[in-house]
Amino acid sequence: MKFLLIIAAAFLAPAHAESTADRWNLSEIYPSLAAWNADADKIDAQLNALTSSKGHLGESAARFKQCLDLQADLTKRYFRLKAYSSEQVAEDTGNAASLELDQRADLLGNKVVEASAFVDPEILHIGKDHIAQFLHEEPLLSIYRFPLEKTLRMAAHTLNDEGEALIAKFGLMDDAGVSAYTLLANADIPWPKVKLSTGEEITLDASAYTKYRQLPNREDRKKVMDAFFGTFKTYERTIGVNLYSQLKQNSVYAKVRNYQDSITRSLDRNNVPVEVLDTLIAQTNANLATLYRYFRLRARMLGVAQLHYYDIYPPLVHSDLKLPYDVGRKLVLEAVAPLGKDYVDALTYGLNHRWMDTYPRPHKLSGAHMDSYAYDVHPYVLMNYNDDYESVSTVAHEWGHAMHSYFADKAQPFVTSNYPIFIAEIASTFNEELLLQRVLNTAKTDDERLYFLGFALENMRATFFRQAMFAEFERTIHARVDKGEPLTGEALTNVYCDILKRYHGDGEGVVDIDNAYCTEWAYIPHFYNSFYVYQYATSIAASALFAKRVLAHEPGALTRYLDLLKAGDSGYPYDLVKKAGVDLATPAPYQALSARMNSIMDEIEAILARNKK
């Protein structure tokens, strides 16, 4: 059973005038609520049919194929239902009918998981040799070859029918930690009011924090950070208990499924070697000099003698550059030209045929994401376009995901189409690098060039070094819980503080980290999705190498990259990336990312030196 995952990025944007052409067309998924209900009724019928297959999978190749086809079809139907309901909510988060529909979809999804719980144990009972005979007898079973291989590989970690059914029932509680955190952080915490130097008084919730931490006035930034993390300090104990409970749950699942620890279980879902995460952390620490160089350059460009943590978010170069959507759209299409005609044509078609909801409006979901779960339709992109370069970069990013899904769906049957996050962020960050090259090639002034370079540099810091820092924190706290150690909120703060200060060179005088900001861990919701964020860091490292080779016209580089997009979930993600030319268990991609950051800083410093003369 594959799980829904909407790939997202977050940013704020004000309202904007729009036309029908700027709205996505969800009627291509279902023309009406009646059509959605009809498909939901089909799922109920299919669930009964699937349940009747229990105990019969090994009778013959034909019966085996019938059950797998049924499971695949009802899963595909559920994904389509969920895509429609969740994007109805995204259009208008205040629409009660849409919320109810989405809850109905969630309940259906849990029924699908419960009804399918017998399949993997029964496949394991049939055994590798008998499955191989079925594959030989029935050629149409070939589309299931890799999914079956994944199931058989998990034999040592799969329980009997009763055990798997019990775990499936507990699935209803898997999101308890993140649900509690989401309600606390978004609804229940009484956020403080802060009066800025302009006289404006703001309510400092999480959205306001991401906006006002970038203010040009340094004292305002300090007020914002002091108040925001001071609030999290108040709830340090509560959030600590909440996260600790999630960590213990992961540890229990690891033990129940016969894994040595939580990280091995988490990474083994996609057969990713633990060496990948260990190499990422080791190489990030080995290249902290690059990060320190960036922070010193930031201090210089901001004109401050000592950089503080509240100085890391304002842009290096201020820009009033306006990029209306028509301009941004053109830039993105020109940027991806190196990926070939088929890629450009597919992206152009999607942009012209309402695959994207472009502008912000009241009650629309904030941020940006791509949803690819309507397999028989096409991907959908949610944007909140704001006429700036960040918006253009986000368009490139999300359409990188969308084109990845488009080509995977076109090349793969449903059962091997849904690629994991380990690969997903490669396609998005690759497009961001192509966009950077496009705007740098046509920048009219040094100020424009500095702005684009600074934007790219900060993106690399946030996507590579910051996510690797989060990964090291996760690695540390999961290991402690796996050993049976207690972890209070205060203990989590102390662990995070040590890592935060090391990554920012606090001891070397690079960035001064106030202890009050060490409750930042309590602000990060990703920690409730174990060992997820490291994939942002590995992906941007891989995409930097892929982009370098494609742009250099290295023989075979483009074909290997496009084949990776088309591969979907037809192989283990680490192996697919390695086959495309990047081994993420070696230092090379991380060293290449560091080298890329240094080359950007070389260019920035050259421009600064030239303008100083």
Q: What is the pTM of this model?
A: 0.89
Residue 18: per-residue pLDDT: 64
Q: Vertex 531, ends 512 and 596: CA angle to 5°?
A: 55
Spell 392-424 as b/e; 16+ CB within 10 A means b: bbbbbbbbbbbbbbbbbbebbebbbbbbbbbbb
| 479: pLDDT strictly greater than 90 | yes
Which two structure tokens, joined as six digits, stand for 543? 């995409």
Question: Is a pLDDT exceeding 90 seen at residue 172?
Answer: no
Residue 223: predicted pLDDT: 97
Domain 22-173 has CATH 3.10.20.880: no
Q: Is the pLDDT of residue 7 over 60?
A: no
Determine contact, residues 282/485, Cβ cutoff 8 Å.
Answer: no
Average pLDDT, stretch 189-205? Answer: 94
Extents of the domains making up the chain: 22-173
Active-site entry in 114, 398, 472, 474: 398
Active site residue 398: yes
Is pLDDT at 548 greater than 60 in this prediction?
Answer: yes
Residues 505-540: pLDDT tens digits?
999 999 999 999 999 999 999 999 899 999 999 999
Segment holding 606, helix H or strand E: helix 588-612
Q: How confident is the model at residue 276 (pLDDT cuts 50, 70, 90)?
A: very high
pLDDT digits (tens, 9 = 90+) for 19-28: 888 999 999 9
The pLDDT tens digits for 290-337 are 999 999 999 999 999 999 999 999 998 888 889 999 999 999 999 999
Residue range 110-126: average pLDDT?
A: 91
Can you give the pLDDT at residue 179?
Answer: 80
Q: Report the alpha-carbon distance of residue 40 to residue 46 in Å, rounded.
A: 10
Under 8 Å between Cβ of 14 and 384: no
Q: In Å, how far are 417, 428, 570, 574 from 539, measured between CA atoms?
A: 19, 9, 18, 11
Per-residue pLDDT, averaged over 443-463, amounts to 92
pLDDT at 159 over 60: yes
* Residue 381: strand, helix, or coil: strand
Distance between CA atoms of 520 and 10, rounded to whole angstroms?
18
Q: Print the SS3 string covering 446-482.
A: HHHHHHHHHHHHHHHHHHHHHHHHHHHHHHHHHHHHH
Stretch 562-569: mean pLDDT, rounded? 98
Which residues 6+ apart lie within 8 Å of 301 measured at CB?
Answer: 316, 317, 454, 604, 608
pLDDT band per the 50, 70, 90 thresholds, residue 2:
very low
Band of pLDDT at residue 16, cut at 50, 70 and 90: low
- Residue 14 pLDDT > 90: no
- Contact in structure between 404 and 424 (CB atoms under 8 Å): yes
pLDDT at residue 430 in the model: 95
Mean residue pLDDT of the chain comes to 92
Q: What integer pLDDT is reported at residue 1 of this predicted model? A: 34
| pLDDT reading at 611 higher than 70 | yes
List the Cα angle 572/573/579 in 5-degree steps: 90
- Distance between CA atoms of residues 407 and 524, nearest Å: 33
The pLDDT assigned to 17 comes to: 58
Provide mean pLDDT across the span 168-182: 77
pLDDT of residue 366: 81
Q: Does 3 have pLDDT greater than 60? A: no
Nearest to 492 by CA among 481, 513, 477, 475: 477
User: pLDDT value at position 154?
Assistant: 87
Query: Tens digits of per-residue pLDDT, 353-369?
Result: 999 999 998 888 888 99
Whether the pLDDT of residue 6 is over 60: the answer is no
